[in-house]
């Protein structure tokens, strides 16, 4: 770890012990180092952050950007041209690892063209000792390495690197504290992610997350509410509540609060128009939560409810703690109580021991639930997880065949679900100019379905009413309605 002992004598007496005051001290200190760096570059120093993985990583990257811009870095166009490059890594699937190593190899070849470039790696993959050892051995151009538990320390690590001029590695084996109130740069000024918990206690047999993000820890309700209130004062009208399992929110609090109770409190914040959340674990989704979603119109009509497999046998091997039958009962209950609810999911194909009959069970769930969308993956073996050591690993060629069956069923179901909205008038939160046609803007329904409507940038960040006139499978062309 880095503490005041690592700094020179004149710095040491001033360094605060408390967080986040300590990090604001280093942000100020870093401004001097940045000035020297920019002088050597002969232009204002730029940064670029590449984010792999989940919404929680995306939120972490907003904080990294906030720290860098507070110091004085300016956004760069790409990792190839930026002066300070950060890769915020993911370790859930192997393809993210390979993409990272490919990009590092490319930047290694460009080192001679930009010898002053600083490269930093952070995030979940950096919590794996074997990955860190590989980075240190094969990628000498990486200057700063840190993990998931000390994202907030970027300014401190930058100062140490600037002072000593050699690689800095600072990885905590587990979270020491929850540090919020760090600057952030939001992708959209009108919506934001808000962490309500960190880590996971579920230990699904295929998943590395509990080992790299640690055990589940909940933020205090008052801190969450204060953050959201501040965000609404800054123009935010939609928040996404983030946790590996939001349904089990409340663990570790001195005065336990349930997730439904937290939602009720958040829904009372006047300026807030929309509330989203992810991810929900089926085993912890209560009747109380169903009622809260049903009864509070601010809570978006979209629930991401990972299935992973429709086979009870495979679900047991995955350590998911529910069965095909209990998942179907829950999904049907949701459809009954909240008919307009969009249900999306995650599905893994090719888990060890999976047979064609197991995939048939997954297809049966897809047909019965009629998912509005799904992230479908071929199983990716992760070292140090129980599933990696299981017998009967499924050959990739066989997994791809079954994957295509599942993907086809999911796409058919989601097209049919989307088409049901044709002709309805719904509210759309406008997010950006449409990629399809610059005379249109794009936004999302409460159900998270994308809609393109005529309009200009003056509509961005506002909620408009639109008639959903043309369904194109996974998005709509809409017509604006004044009332």
Residues 6+ apart with CB under 8 A from 392: 352, 353
By the 8 A CB rule, do 52 and 123 touch?
yes
* HEC per residue, 99-155: HHHHHHHHHHHCCCCCCCCEEEEEEHHHHCHHHHHHHHHHCCCCCEEECCCCHHHHH
pLDDT on residue 6: 46
Give, in degrees to the nearest 5, the angle at Cα 66 between 217 and 164. Answer: 95
Looking at residue 307, its pLDDT comes to: 98
CATH 3.80.30.20, the chain: domain bounds: 191-419
Whole-number Å distance between alpha carbons of 220 and 440: 41
Using 50 as the pLDDT threshold, list the residues of the chain that sit under it: 1-7, 9-11
- Predicted local confidence at residue 483, as pLDDT: 63
CB 153 within 8 A of CB 146: yes
Domain 4-170: state its class: alpha beta
Distance, in Å, from the CA atom of 241 to the CA atom of 310, rounded to the nearest integer, reads 27
Closest CA to 178 of 199, 208, 207: 199
Q: Where in the chain is the domain with CATH 3.40.50.12160?
A: 4-170
Query: Quick one: tokens of 402?
Result: 């079954």
Question: For residues 30 and 158, is the Cβ–Cβ distance under 8 A?
Answer: yes
Query: 74-84 burial, b for 16+ CB within 10 Å, e for fewer?
Result: eebeebeebbb
pLDDT computed for residue 5 by the predictor: 41
The region, left, alpha or beta by phi > 0 then psi within -120 to 50, assigned to residue 170 is: beta
What span, in angstroms and rounded, lies between the C-alpha atoms of 63 and 152? 7
Q: 391: which 2 tokens? A: 């017998």
Fold of 191-419: pyruvate-formate lyase- activating enzyme (3.80.30)
Q: Rounded CA gap, 24 and 339, in Å?
A: 48
CATH class for domain 425-481?
mainly beta
Q: Are the beta carbons of 270 and 237 closer than 8 angstroms?
A: no
Measured CA to CA, the distance from residue 145 to residue 168 in angstroms comes to: 6
At 162 the pLDDT is 95
Q: Where in the chain is the domain with CATH 2.40.50.140?
A: 425-481
């Amino acid at each position: 770890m880095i503490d005041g002992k690592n700094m020179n004598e004149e710095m040491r007496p001033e360094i605060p012990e408390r967080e986040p005051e300590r990090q604001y001290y280093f942000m100020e200190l870093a401004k001097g180092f940045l000035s020297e760096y920019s002088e050597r570059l002969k232009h204002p120093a730029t940064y670029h952050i590449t984010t792999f993985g989940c919404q929680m990583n995306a939120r972490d990257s907003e904080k990294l950007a906030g720290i860098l811009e507070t110091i004085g870095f300016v956004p760069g166009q790409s990792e190839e041209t930026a002066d300070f490059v950060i890769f915020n890594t993911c370790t859930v699937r192997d393809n993210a690892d390979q993409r990272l190593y490919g990009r590092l190899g490319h930047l290694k070849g460009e080192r001679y063209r930009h010898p002053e470039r600083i490269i930093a790696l952070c995030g979940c993959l950096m919590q794996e000792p074997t990955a860190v050892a590989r980075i240190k051995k094969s990628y000498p151009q990486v200057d700063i390495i840190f993990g998931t538990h000390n994202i907030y320390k970027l300014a401190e690590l930058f100062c140490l690197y600037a002072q000593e001029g050699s690689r800095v590695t600072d990885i905590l084996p587990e979270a020491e504290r929850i540090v919020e109130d760090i600057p952030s740069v939001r992708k959209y000024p009108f919506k934001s992610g808000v962490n309500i918990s960190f880590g996971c206690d579920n230990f699904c047999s295929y998943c590395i997350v509990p080992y790299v993000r640690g055990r589940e820890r909940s933020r205090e309700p008052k801190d969450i509410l204060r953050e959201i209130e501040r965000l609404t004062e800054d123009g935010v009208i939609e928040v996404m509540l983030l946790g590996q399992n939001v349904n089990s929110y409340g663990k570790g609090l001195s005065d336990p609060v349930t997730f439904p109770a937290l939602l009720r409190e958040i829904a009372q914040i006047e300026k807030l128009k929309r509330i989203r959340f992810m991810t929900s674990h089926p085993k912890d989704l209560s009747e109380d939560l169903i009622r809260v979603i049903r009864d509070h119109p601010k809570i978006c009509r979209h629930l991401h409810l990972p299935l992973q497999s429709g086979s009870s046998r495979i679900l047991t091997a995955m350590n998911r703690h529910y069965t095909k039958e209990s998942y179907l009962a829950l999904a049907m209950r949701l459809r009954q109580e909240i008919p307009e609810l969009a249900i999306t999911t995650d599905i893994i194909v090719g888990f060890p021991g999976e047979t064609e009959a197991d995939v048939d069970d997954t297809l049966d769930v897809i047909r019965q639930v009629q998912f509005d969308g799904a992230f479908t993956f071929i199983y990716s073996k992760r070292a140090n997880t129980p599933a990696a050591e299981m017998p009967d690993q499924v050959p990739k060629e066989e997994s791809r065949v079954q994957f295509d069956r599942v993907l086809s069923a999911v796409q058919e179901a989601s097209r049919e679900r989307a088409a049901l909205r044709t002709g309805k008038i719904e509210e759309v939160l406008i997010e950006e100019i449409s990629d399809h046609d610059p005379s249109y803007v794009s936004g999302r329904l409460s159900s998270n379905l994308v809609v393109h409507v005529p309009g200009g940038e003056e509509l961005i960040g506002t909620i408009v009413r639109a008639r959903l006139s043309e369904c194109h499978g996974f998005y709509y062309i809409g017509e604006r309605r004044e009332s």
